[in-house]
Structure 1
Amino acid sequence: MQMTMDYNLLTVLSVFLAVFGGGLFFTRLKQPVLIAYLLTGVVLGPHGLGIITNAETVTWLGNIGVVMLMFFLGMDIQLPKLLTNWKVCIVGTFLQIAASVLAVFAVGSWLDWPTNRIVLLGFVISLSSTSVILRLLQHAGHTESKVGHDAIGISITQDLAVIPMLVVLSFLRGEDFNAALCIRQLIGTALVLGVIYKIYTAKKFSLPLGSLLRDDEEMQLFASLSICFGAALITAYLGLSTAIGAFVAGMIVQTAKETHWVSGRLSSFKVFLMALFFLSVGMLIDMAFVRAHIPELLLLTGIALVTNTFINAGILRVLGRSKAESLYGGALLAQISEFSFVLAAIGRQSGIISPYSYNMTIALISITLMVSPWWAAWFRPKHWQKGHAPEAL
């Protein structure tokens, strides 16, 4: 009997080997491993070696990755702890988003962009990557420093700001006015805010049928995932993003008495899904497009890094940080976040940005993530690099 090769298994093996090899390489270089995930997606995707070519599969993986990414973010957010450094975190984030939107408004007015595109791209460049910042601080030994806490606090608050951004984008889709949709969106917004307020005011609460779940960890896990995708489906029906529902579901699971342990137990699953998300993004990067637009991308990357660095440095300086701390903190926050991929995808699906603008945005985000370690190191004060830590809290 002749055996036949299962090419699907070969594809899966290729993905895991590429992620493993790339991850080891970038870990040895002390660089964020998400760069390996992105590059693996580029190499294996339809615009690279073509090992994975099914566009529907790539899109589906990306959608699942977005939902799970927001679900895990919801489980990681601790509102009471975040509010202890509220002045820097909340005021800094608000000023950063406002300054970014104004900067894009200045460019967009000159290029005659519609308002919804200006707002979307302003939101996109205003977000910084918490995972990259944390990795850079750990590598430099500055995690417990004042500038480290400022950078992490602002980036986490920016992650939280994705939720109102998604709500705003839901209202700016550029479609004809639909009264029924508008009512559903208002109901959805009120529901989301109500649930978040309930979670903030209640230290712990019990889920319906919680007594049936209390001693059954397997069912707790499936209940958590059901809450995640159920909430995503509800917010989608209410005219909001599935990402909003997944985020709120994560907060519910983290706060509920029966499922509070799920976040820790799913840590390995989280690593896998984060890798899946970045792989799917890498597969969307059109290398032919990148090669054809290298000058524009390099220019935009420089503008994004410089703009974000000095906006954030200025904000930190106003909030009382030293010049050295402010510049270093601004450089740490200069890259564009992985959550901006979510905003860009929603903008593309709703017609706010064109395919050209979407490809340019995806490439720009990816490049800023890749160069952020070198950019932050350039702004790190020399005496900090010689083993002297910045001021600790």
Structure 2
Amino acid sequence: MAEINLFQSFFLIFSGAAIVASLALFGRQPLLVAYIALGVLLGPSAFGVIDNVQLLAEMSNIGIIFLLFLLGLEMQPRALIAVLRKAIFVGIVSCAIFLGLGFGIGQLFGYTDVESWVIGMALMFSSTIIGIKLLPTTVLHHKHLGEMMVGLLLFQDFVAITCLMILLSGSTGQVDVAQLGLSFAALPLVALFAWVVVKYLLLPLFTRFDRFHEYVFLLALGWCMGLAELAEIVGLSHEIGAFIAGIALATSPISQYIALSLKPLRDFFLVLFFFSLGAQFKLAMLPEVALPALITAAAVLAIKPAVFRYLLGNQSEDKVLAWDIGFRLGQISEFSLLIAFLAFNQQLIGSGASHLIQATAILTFLVSSYIVVLNFPNPIAIKDHLRRD
């Protein structure tokens, strides 16, 4: 088969993604699972139609940078503190339990200590896509369930950022404690620099030229990329820099416009990211990871809802509400895939551990989304009495 060029690759990816996304929506499946499945089919492990996977993977990293920039933009400090205060105890205890669960599973199947800890990291987080996107809008914005969900997911986001810093500090198969210390020391300096630049340079520019939408878009894009590169230079990472860039702009009145402007660009690169994950998934690894992935997924789907039910019940939450939150958060996360991707690239884990996390993510996304759609109020419920916009 003749090698296809970049345009043909994009044609296959995005035309194919449009088709499989339509099928996924009819089948009530998360879209990212469809993108991963398309990557597996078109990648080297299946039909081998697209073989320049490494180039696509490098391009798709930009989507993760935009994802973290937008995450920072949406974190209003005052509201953030309010919801985190409600969720911090449950967040800390649940993360510790799932970290230990993942480490235990890793040890059970003979993975190294570092690989087991990374598997534990991957199990700590729940999917924002399933947790928030399948929550009715009125519940998300006006009810206690929405507040608790947002609080727990935001707390997990902060933990995920810390995990990314840990992973990105080590590049030789061992976590570099000294480099991690330097990274944490550089963090407040980068944050202070970001605050000064936003206050004295960017906000005056936005205020003066806010009528020129193209300029606002360009300045926001340049700010995101610029601070991401600065963070990389001082020993952090592009992702951490983009997150700080977003938080620094979050209190600006123009932050929501920037977020809306960048979401299509973010989605473009995230389709590439999930496609490249699927394309890099080696079907030959399935015999090795099938049993561990099935057991890990079953443990996550059974234990996560029970843990959240118990912890929230101890905080005097209503029993039905506690189970509702538990099942909505009863899977692993998009961040889990990112952790597997980065840890493998940093040579902290092998191909087996990486594929275990990816397979567990796909399984828990599928099963958990079915549980939520069939049993709890959501915008795409099959049963009329559960459908809520």
When normalised by structure 1's length, the TM-score is 0.83
Shift of the 222–285 alpha-carbon distance from structure 1 to 2, 3 Å rule, reads: same
Mapping 1:251-290, distance limit 5 Å: 251-256=247-252, 261-290=257-286
Residue 353 of structure 1 is matched in structure 2 by 349
Residue 372 of structure 1 is matched in structure 2 by 368
Deviation per CA, 1:223-268: give whole Å up to 9, x if none: 2222222222222222223211111112234444666521122232
Q: Is the 8 A contact 1:166 1:240 kept in 2?
A: no
How many angstroms apart in 1 are the aligned matches of 2:231 and 2:305? 35
Correspondence for 1:58 among 42, 56, 59: 56
Between stretches 164-173 and 51-60, larger displacement belongs to 164-173
How many angstroms apart in 2 are the aligned matches of 1:213 and 1:317? 47
Shift of the 104–374 alpha-carbon distance from structure 1 to 2, 3 Å rule, reads: same
Identity %: 24
Residue 167 of structure 1 is matched in structure 2 by 165
Correspondence for 2:201 among 174, 195, 207: 207
Between stretches 46-55 and 285-294, larger displacement belongs to 285-294
Mapping 1:40-189, distance limit 5 Å: 40-107=38-105, 116-138=114-136, 142-143=139-140, 144-170=142-168, 175=174, 181=179, 184-189=182-187
- Asked if residue 218 in structure 1 is aligned to residue 214 in structure 2, the reply is yes
Residue 300 of structure 1 is matched in structure 2 by 296
The amino acid of 1:221's aligned partner reads F
Residue 329 of structure 1 is matched in structure 2 by 325
Deviation per CA, 1:96-143: give whole Å up to 9, x if none: 21111232344456677665444432221111111221222239x854
SS in 1 for 2:134: helix
Q: How many positions carry a matched residue from both structures?
A: 377
How many angstroms apart in 1 are the aligned matches of 2:249 and 2:362? 31
| Structure 2 stretches lacking a partner, 5+ long | 378-382
Q: Is the 8 A contact 1:97 1:122 kept in 2?
A: no
How many angstroms apart in 2 are the aligned matches of 1:206 and 1:377? 48
Residue 26 of structure 1 is matched in structure 2 by 24
| Structure 1 stretches lacking a partner, 5+ long | none
How many angstroms apart in 2 are the aligned matches of 1:377 and 1:209? 43
The amino acid of 2:59's aligned partner reads L
When normalised by structure 2's length, the TM-score is 0.83
Q: Is the 8 A contact 2:203 2:252 kept in 1?
A: no
How many angstroms apart in 2 are the aligned matches of 1:221 and 1:234? 20
Residue 380 of structure 2 is matched in structure 1 by none
The amino acid of 1:50's aligned partner reads G
Shift of the 54–170 alpha-carbon distance from structure 1 to 2, 3 Å rule, reads: closer
Residue 237 of structure 1 is matched in structure 2 by 233
How many angstroms apart in 1 are the aligned matches of 2:27 and 2:87? 31
The amino acid of 2:325's aligned partner reads G
How many angstroms apart in 1 are the aligned matches of 2:331 and 2:60? 21
How many angstroms apart in 1 are the aligned matches of 2:155 and 2:78? 12
Deviation per CA, 1:348-383: give whole Å up to 9, x if none: 1233211211121122112212222123356649xx
- 1:295 CA displacement: 3.0
Q: Is the 8 A contact 1:71 1:247 kept in 2?
A: yes
How many angstroms apart in 2 are the aligned matches of 1:135 and 1:178? 38
The amino acid of 2:208's aligned partner reads R
Query: What RMSD over aligned residues (CA atoms) do the two structures have, in Å?
Result: 3.4
